[in-house]
Amino acid sequence: FIGFIVANPKNFHREDGSWYELIANKVIEIDPINSMVSSRITKFLTDWRKLEPKRSDAMKKSLEKISKIENISPDLAEVVKRGLS
């Protein structure tokens, strides 16, 4: 995922926000297995304030979705908290 995001910013920042949601879903899936990877991937969703409103809202919603998972790892919780504050 990290390689895709870095190599394909146009697709990552699609206007419909679908990749932000996909990333959030994968982070939720990965976190119980490897919290370091999930937190590293989530850092790409923390720049939501720098985007235009439609993309910004979609990216923020993805972060909020991640923040609501049960048993979130401390690593991921820290990244999400910083991203939303």
The predicted pLDDT at position 12 comes to 77
What does pLDDT average to in each consecutive run of 10 residues of the chain (85 residues)? 65 83 93 95 92 94 96 96 95
| pLDDT score for 38 | 93
Which pLDDT score, from 0 to 100, does residue 2 have? 63
Identify the pLDDT of residue 59.
Answer: 94
Q: Give just the sign of the alpha carbon dihedral 78, 79, 82, 85.
A: negative
How big is the CA angle at 37 (ends 35 and 43), to the nearest 5 degrees? 100
Nearest to 46, CA basis, from 32, 66, 71: 66
pTM for this prediction: 0.86
pLDDT value at residue 79: 97
